[in-house]
Structure 1
Amino acid sequence: MTKSSSAGSAVPESNYPGERLGLPEEGPGSVARFGMRIFALVIDWGLAAVLAWWIFDYAAFAVSAIFIVLTSVCIALLGSTIGHLIFGMRVNTIRGEAPGWWRPWVRQVLLSLVIPAIIMDSDQRGAHEVLTGLVLRRFR
């Protein structure tokens, strides 16, 4: 079933976030919901703030830089940030593959700009994920 957009093109209708991507509605493999994302972000940003305070006397630029480096490296190596792991989430490509090295860096730089993260599609993916071909999924 499709519905028309303002431009007149057909947009696939979905009943839940991730359906258009072939993901389950709930449980492992489903799209991570907004609340879990926010809690994970708070943990990751808090870790970056503590490290910036400890190493750089809490310089504002240092918090952002540490956040980008810490989360990008964690996603590239583990598939998740520390916050994602705590809340049972993993970053994958739409096909379910590991994100590789360049996608996490681009994703996290765009996330730190905030605006791309709040522009979401019907699958609850922010522009930072759509542009990099990634999706944040639950693993438990």
Structure 2
Amino acid sequence: MIDRKDLGSWMEGAPAAEGYVKGSSLGLPPEGPGSVAPFWRRPLALVVDWGLCLAISALVLSGDALANLVLFAVVNVLFLSLFGATPGQYVLRTRVLPVSGRSPMVLRAAVRTVLMLLLLPAVVWNRDAQPLHDVVAGTAVVRA
């Protein structure tokens, strides 16, 4: 017979190593600049970037839905390649760092943006607080 304590094991969440510091397997420091950015900064930066793209699209491109997506993708790839942060990430003091591999940042930014637009990779995270689109691109969002 199934006991309540048997169900409690999975209801408490995924197992975690005691004292594990997010980003340590990526070589990131535990605190301060360069450490993994807090979760709340990521969606807030996304909202700032999306709002900026919607405003520009409404003024210049008459708010076309496809133009919004293309503009968002261009802003992400351009700003990540040139500055390492989108405008929203800059405002929230975060940036995107390469953490694995040797591919150029332009390629990393393009892969990261395409996967982020698919949405599902953005909601699957690992224990280092790295969404799937960052894992595939070999990047991490850190404090600036």
Q: Which amino acid aligns with 1:109?
A: V
RMSD value over aligned CA atoms? Answer: 1.9
Using structure 1 for the length normalisation, give the TM-score. 0.83
Q: What residue number does 1:124 align with?
A: 129
Local SS of the residue matching 1:91: strand
Could you say which structure has the higher strand fraction?
1
Check 1:42–1:98 CA distance in 2 against 1; reply closer, same or farther (3 A cut).
Answer: farther
Contact 1:92 1:99 in 2 (8 A): no
Q: What residue number does 1:57 align with?
A: 62
Largest Rg, 1 or 2? 2
Q: What residue number does 1:5 align with?
A: none
Local SS of the residue matching 1:47: helix
Using structure 2 for the length normalisation, give the TM-score. 0.81
Q: Which runs of 5+ in 2 are unaligned?
A: 1-15
Question: Aligned pair 1:22/2:27, yes or no?
Answer: yes
Could you say which structure has the higher helix fraction?
2
Contact 1:68 1:108 in 2 (8 A): yes
Q: Which runs of 5+ in 1 are unaligned?
A: 1-11
Q: 1:98: how far off?
A: 9.5
Runs of 4+ in 1 over 4 A off after TM superposition: none
Check 1:86–1:98 CA distance in 2 against 1; reply closer, same or farther (3 A cut).
Answer: farther
Contact 1:31 1:137 in 2 (8 A): yes
Q: 1:53: how far off?
A: 0.9
Q: 1:22: how far off?
A: 2.3
Distance in 2, Cα, partners of 1:28 & 1:115 = 28
Q: Which of residues 95, 103, 112 is equivalent to 1:107? A: 112
Distance in 2, Cα, partners of 1:99 & 1:30 = 22
Q: 1:25: how far off?
A: 2.0
Instruction: Tell me the number of residue pairs that the alignment of Structure 1 and Structure 2 aligns.
Output: 127
1:71-86 superposed matches below 5 A? 71-86=76-91
Q: What residue number does 1:9 align with?
A: none
